[in-house]
Structure 1
Amino acid sequence: MPHNDRDLKSRPDPDALLALAEQGRRGKLTVFLGAAPGVGKTFAMLTRARRLKEEGGDIVIGLVETHGRGETAALLEGLEVLPRRQVLHNGRTLHEFDLDAALARRPRVILVDELAHTNFGESRHPKRYQDIEELVDAGIDVWTALNIQHLESLSDVVAHIAGVPVRERVPDTVLNRADDVLLVDLPPAELIERLKEGKVYLPDNAKRAADRFFRLGNLTALRELALRRTADRVDDQMVDYLRQNAIEGPWGAAERLLVCIGPDPLSEKVVRTASRLASSLNADWMVVSVERAEAESSGAMRQLDETFRLAEQLGAETRRIIGNDFVEEILKLARREHATQIVIGTRRHYFPLRLFRRSLPDALAARAAGIAIHLVTDGSAPAVKPAARRRSTLPDGWGRGVAIATGTAAAATALGLLIEQFVVLQNISLLFLLAVLVSATYAGYVAAIAAALISILAYNFCFIEPVGTFTVAEPHEVFALFVFLAAAMLAGGLASRVREQAKTARRRAAATQALYDFSRKLSGTANAEDVLWAAVTQIHATLRRNAALLLPEDGDVRLMAAWPPDTELGLTDTMAGRWAFEKKEAAGNGTGTLPNSPFQFRPLMSPHGVVGVFGFLQEDKPLEINEERALAAILDQTAIAVDRARLSRESLDQAAQLEGEKFLAALLSSISHDLRTPLATITGAVTSLRQLGERMSEESRDDLLKSIEEESGRLTRFVANLLDMTRIEAGTVNAKRDWVDVADVVHSAVERARKYFPGRVFETSIAPDLPLIRGDSVLLGQVIFNLLDNANRFGGDEPVSIYGRREEDEIVLSVTDLGKGIAPADLDRVFDKFFRKGKPDGRSLGTGLGLSISKGFVEAMDGRIKAESPAMKRRGTRISMRFPVAETGITEKERG
C-alpha cells in the first residue's frame, strides 16, 4: 500500500531508535559538570547518592576525592566504599581506583570522581575516563565529576584565559555520549569567597590558586563556557527526543564543516577551533589533509599523524588526499561531501611575499562560491618572512648533492676546455646545462641549484672574455648569463621533480607489487594455518618488527602464528589482545588500553565480525604513514582470507554433516527394509506353525522351519555386516599379521557359500604353488563370502568362478559371475556404502554393505580391490583382489 509524505514524516528516525536501543544495553553515564574546582560537584553527587541509598538503591562509592573538605567527607558516612588499589609510583605508594573490584562487585550505581584523572602504575587504562567507559559497557550506571577546563577542545582556550596549561584532558566524545549532564553552578564572587574561607583548598594551595587561577575574569569566562556547553547538550537531547518520537520540529538544513590541516603546529589549533564550532552548530565535520606525491619528511608526517589522532578523539571524520593542486582537491571534496563551511589556518605574511605568492586561504576564497571560509590565526606565531621556504631546514643529503654538483660542473668545465683546444664553439654553455640536469637527476633540487651557480661562475671564469676573471665585458654576455641561470634552475627544478616523483612511484609500485604478491598467495591458500604464516611473514617483511596473530579458540584468543617464530607474548600482551578482540578496538602500546605492553594489537575485521587479532612490536615507536597504509591493506586482506578459510572449514563440516545425514537416512531405509522382510517371513512361519501345526503335513512344517532358519541366517549376516561397517567407520579394524594359506581360506568360504546358497554352482580354480601371505584369515574369509553372496544375488543363473594365481610379487584372487554386469558409470560406486542396483527378477537387493565391507577389510590387510565389467563374453562382473606375497616364499606344493 503506498504511503504519502505525511506517513513518512510520522515515522521515528531509525538511527535515533537504534541509538536508544543501544543505550538500553549499556549502563548510564551521569556527569556533574562545573566551571571550576570548588563549585560543589562532589558534594552534589554525594547528596544525591545518600538520597538514593535511603530509597533502597544499590549504590557504591568507587572513588571520591574530598580534598580535605569536612562537609564533603561527612557525606560518605553510611555509604559502601570500595577499597582502593595500592600502586608504587616514583618511590611513593599511591591509592588508585580498583576497576576489577568494581566489576566484581557490580553495583547498580557507582560513583567515580575526577573523570579527567591520569592513572598511575600498571593500570589497564592510562586514563580514568576509560575505566568508566568499561564500567558503562558492563551495564553499570556511573556518576562522575568534571571541570569544563578539562575538555580537549577547550584546553587551548582555557590556557589562553587562565594562563595555565591544562595537562589532564578528556575527549569531547566522552561528554557527548553521557546520558545526563548536570551543571553544578556557583557565582564567581561566591566561589572566591569559599576559597578564602578554606573550603576549596588548604591555605597554602588556596593562596597560590587565588593568585593564578581563581580570579574574577577567569571564573566568569569558565562559567560562560560551562553554561554554553550544557545548553548545547540539552539541545542535543531535545533533538534526540524529537527524532525518536517522530515529532516535527523546526528542522533546518544541516551544516557540515571541512577542516583543512597540514604538517605544521597551527593545525592543532585549527582542529580545536573547528571542534568548538561544530559543537556550537551541532554539525558534522571532516578533517582533511592534501599531500603532494613527493614524500614529506618523517617529522612532518609524524606531526600530521598526531593532529589526525587529535581530530579523531574530538569526534571528526578524517581523510587524506594525494594531489598537487591543493585548491582544486579541497573544493572537489567539499562539493562531494556537501560541506557548507571550510575551516583553514592562515599566517601573516610580509608584503613582498604577498605580491608574488597568493596564500591557500586567499585562493580558496576566490574560488569557493557558496561556501563560507573560516580563517584561524595564531597570534603567537611570527609572520612568515620572504626568505622562508617550504622546508625550514636543509633537506637530507644536501652535502652529497653539493658534492655531485661540484663534480659535474668541474667535469663540464674540463670537457669544454678540452674541446676548445680543437674547435671554438659558441654554445659551449650547453655542457653546463647538461651538468645541471645530471645533478638534478641524481641528487635532487639542491644539487640542481648548486650546479647552476657553480656552472655560472665556471663558465664566466673560463669561457667569457676576459678569460680568467669574473668580469663580463659585453652587455649581451650579461644577458646570456642571466638567461642561462634561469634556464638551468628551471630545467634543474623540473628534473628534480621528475626524480622525486619517480622515486615515489617506485616506492608505491614496490608496495603495490608486495600487496599483489601477498593477495595472490592468499588467494591460493585455503588452509587457515597457511594464511596466518603468510600474513605474519609479510607483515614482518614490511614493518621490520615482530608480528603475531591470535585467533579465537575455546572462548579465548590464542597465539597461532608469530614471526620470528620465537616471539612470545606476556600476560599483559595477552590481556591486550583479548581486549582488542572483545571490544573491537586497538589495545596495547600507543593506545588508551594497557599501554605498558610493548605490542600493539588491532582487531581483524571481516564482513562477519572480528575473526582474530594482529599484534606488532611497537615499543613507543609509532608507524610512519606509509607503513600504516601498508599495514591497513595487509590486515584487510588477512581478515578476508582468515574469514574465507573459516567459511571453507564450516562448509566442509556442513558437507560432512549432510553426508552423515544421507548415510543415516540410507541406513534407516536399508534397516527398515532388510529387517522387515525376514522378520515378516519368520513371524508368518511361526504363526502358521502355532495355529496349524498339527493339521499341517510333515513336508509343510519342514518348509516353514527351513524358511525360519534361512531368514534367521539372513538377519545374522545383516547384523554382522552392520557391526563390521561400524568398525571400519570407527577405524578399529585391526587386521592380524599371521601366516595365511589362501587356498584353505578360499575352500572354507566356498563351502560356507554352498551351505547358504545350495542352488548356486561355484567353480574353484586355485594355482597349486600359491605362497603364504601375511593377513587375517577370518577377515579374508568374510571378504570372499561377501563377494560370493554378491555374485549369487546379481550373477544370474550361471556358475560363479573363483580363481587364485600369482602375478610377480602379488597373489590375485577373483570372483567372476556371468550376470548382466555393471554399467561403466557405476564401477567406481559399487564399493560405496548402501549402493544397490535393482534387478528385474525381483530378488532381494541386500543392504548394499557387502562390497563396502570387503573393501575396508582388504585395505586393512594392505591389499587392493577392483571391479571390472564386462568380465567375459561381454557380460558379467569380475571383482579381483591383490595381496603382497609374504617374504617366506613357501608354496603349497613345497608344503605338500
Structure 2
Amino acid sequence: MNNRRGRLTVYLGAAPGVGKTYAMLDEAERRCARGTDVVIGLVETHGRAATIARIGDLEIVPRRLVEHRGTMLTELDVEAVLRRAPQVVLVDELAHTNAPGSAHPKRWQDVHDLLDAGIDVVTTVNVQHLASLTDDVEAITGVRQRETVPDQVVREADQIQLVDLSPEQLRRRLAHGNVYRAEQIDASLSSYFRLGNLTALRELALLWLADRVDDALTRYRADHAISGIWPARERIVVAVTGGPETATLLRRGARIAQRAAGAELLAVHVLPTDGLPSTPPATIASYRALTESLDGTFHTVVGEDVPRAVVDFARGVNATMIVVGVSRHPVWRQALLGSSSAEIARLSEAIDVHLVTHEQARAGARRQSRFSSLSPRRRLAGWVSTVAVPVALTAFFLLLDRDEQNLPSHLMIYLAGVVAVAIVGGLWPALVTAVVSFVLLNWFFTEPTGRLIIHQPEDVLALVVFVLVAGAVASVVDLAARRSAQAYRARAEASTLAALSRSVLSGEDTAQAIVQRLAVTFAVADVRLEERDDERAPWVAVAVTTRGPASDAPGTTVTEVAIDERHRLVLAGRALPASDREVVEAFGAQAGIVLEHRRLREQAAQAQALEQAEATRTALLAAVSHDLRTPLAAIRAAVDGLSSPDVELDPEDRDALTRTIGESTGRLERLIGNLLDLSRLQTGAVRPALRPASLEEVVPVAVEPWLPALTLDVPEDLPLVQTDPGLLERVVANVVSNAVRHAPPGRPVLVTASATRDEVELRVADAGPGVPDDRKETMFEPFQRLDDTTGPGLGLGLAVAAGLSGAVGARIAAEDTPGGGLTMVLTVPRSVPDVGPVSPGGPGTAREESVGADDPDTVAAYEEPAR
C-alpha cells in the first residue's frame, strides 16, 4: 500500500477547444519517455483527429459500462485503475457528472479516490465549470453550466497549467473544423464563441489563476516567515485619517492603482486602542462607500501608534505603496512633535510612500469641541465649589487651630478637595479650585501670614508642586470621567443600532418601523422619512410618526439629516446635541440600506417574474410547435382530400375525413383554450364571481363526457359551497379528464364527495401508475408531463386547474390511491349564510374576464396528460 498521496495536475482551459486534452496527452508522452508508468483512465476525444492521433501507444484502461434508460454509457472504471496501480493516470473532464449507479455522483470524487491510493492524476477542466464562476459565465455567454466542480478541488491541485489561445486563434480553429463538426460551426461562432465571449472567458481564467497564485505566494511567505515586501502585485494602501482631505487621498490612490493592471486599492483607518471612534461613524461610512465605488476595499484596525499601525497593515497585505496626506498641523507643531506622514515614511522601509498635498495642508487640525457629559446643574455646582470648597477647608483649619502650621497635611486635604471638585464639575473648575487653594494656603498658612509672600523656599516648592499635582490629578479624573461617559454612550448607541439591525433582519424593515424607533430613541415629537424623484422635485413623506406637538409649534427645533440625494430624515422636537446627531446619521445610513434593500427586493421580484414569463414563453414555443402542427396537418390533409377534383370519395371515406377535421379542430380549440386560460391566470385577468352553489349543478355537467368511465358518488344532501360554478366546473373537468386518461382499461375512476364543518371535499381516484412523491408539487406547474411524452397535449391541464382552484378559494392536492394510483383532492369552502346578494344565473356566470364552461366539448379541453 502506497502511503504517499498522489499529486494532482490540472490543465485549465480558458474555453472549449483550446487544446487542454491535447496538452494533457502531450505531457503523458513526455512522462512515458522518461520511463514513468502512465495509463489513460478516460480521455474524451470528441472525434477530433489530432487528439485521437496523439493517444498513440499509451495504454488505455477499459471503461466501465453503465446502462441507463436503455442506453449504454461509459464511465471511468476506478476499480480497474486501482488494480492496475500505475504511477500516473489521465482522467479527462474533471467536472463530469457520473451516470446513476456510480460510486460517486461526480468524477472529481473518483479522482480523489485515485489520489488517496497514491496515484498521480493529470486531469482537465474548463474555466466555465468552476462553481464560483457559474453566474459570471452565464451572464457572459447566456448558457448555464450544469456540470461544475468546487473551486477548492482545483485550488488544491499541486500544479495548475493554463491552456489558452487568443480569441481569434480559437475562432480560426473552430472555422477549420478542428473543434466541432461542420454543421455546428456556424451556430457556435455566432453564439458561444463570439469574440467578446471568448475575451471575457479568457480574462476570467487569468484572474482566477492569478488569485490562486497570489494565495500560494501568501502561504509560501507565511511558511518561510518572510516579512519583507515582495512586490508581485501593485497594492496601494491609503491611510484614511477621517479628515476632509481623505476623499482627495482616496481618489489619488485610485488613479495610481489604475495605472497598473491588476493593482489593488486598500484604505485603512486606525482606531484608538480604547475602541472609541475619533471620527463620526457617518463620516467613516461615507469614506467606505467612496472606497468601494473606486473598486477598493476599506479596512479598520486598532492601534495605539497610528503610523506604526498603518505600516504594519501595509506589510501584512504585501503593499507596494502607502498614500498619505501632508500634515494639517502647523510647522512649529511638526517641528516639536513630528507628523504622522513623516513617521510613516521613516518606518516604511521597502514600501514606497506617496505624499499628497491638499487644501487642508498646514491649515491646522480642526479643534474638536470638548465633549462634556455633565448636566448644567453639575457644571453650576462645580463652579460654585471652586470657591466654596477652598473657603470651607480654610475656615475649618482656622477654627481647628490657627497657630498650628502643618502645611503638608493641609496640602493633602486641599488636594482631596480639588479631586472632589474635578469629579463634580470637571477639569476647569478643578484647576480654578487649585489656584484659589494656592492663594489661601499662601495667605493663611505660610510665613509671613496675611501676605502673598513666602519666606521659606521649601514652602514655595510645596505650593508649586501642589498646584501641578492638583492640575494633573484633576486632568486625569476629568479624562477618566469623560472616557467613561463616552464608553457608556457608545455602548448605548451600539445597542440602539444593533436593535435596529435586528429589526431589519427579523423582517421589520419598513420605513415606518425606522421612524417609530427614532422617535422613541431620541424622544422627539415628530419624525418623517421623506423622498423625492430628483433634486428639483418636492419632498414627499414616506413614513411619519407623531408623539407630541406639531413640528411647527413654538419652541420646536427641526433637524434634517440627509440619507442620500433622494431621501432624508426630518426630526422635530428638542434640539439634538452633536453626539445625538451622529447617531441619527447612522440611523439614516441604516434607513438608506433598508430602502435600497426594498428596492433591490422589488427589482428581484420583477426580474423573477420576467424570468418565469420568459421560461414559460420558451417552453410554450418549444411545446406548441409540435402540438399545433399535428392537428393542422390532419385538417389540411382532410380538406385537400375532400376538395380534390381528381379523387372520387365514397360516403364512408368522406365521413372519415369529416370526422378527422372535427376531431382535429376540437383538439386545436382545446389547446388554444388551455393557452388562453393559462395566460389569463398569469396576468391576473381571472376575476371569479363567488356565490353559494351546489356541487350537483357543477359535477354532472363537468364529468358528462366521461360518464361511461366513471363511478359517481356525490350525495344530494351536500351543503352549498362558496365558489364560481363556471370556474369550478372547469377545474373538475380537468381533474377528471386527467384521471380517465391514466386509468387502466376496465378500472373506472371513482368520484366521491363529502363534507366537513367548514369545507366540502371532492375526491377523484384512479388506479393508474401514480406519481412519485417528489413530483407531486411540480406536477401542478405548466408543461409538466413527467415521463409521458407520447400522448397529445402540452401538460397544461393541472396547471390551469390549480390556478383556477386558487382563484375561487379552493385547494387542490395529490395523494396516493390505496392499492396504487393517484387521488386528486379538491377542497372547496362551504357557503356561509348571509354572505351577500347571490349573483344571478347558473354555471358560467363569472365576469367577462373569467373563464367559463361553454359546452361539454370545451370542458374536454383539459384532457392533456400531466403525468
**What is the TM-score with the length of structure 1 in the denominator?**
0.44
**What is the TM-score with the length of structure 2 in the denominator?**
0.45
User: Greater CA radius of gyration, 1 or 2?
Assistant: 1
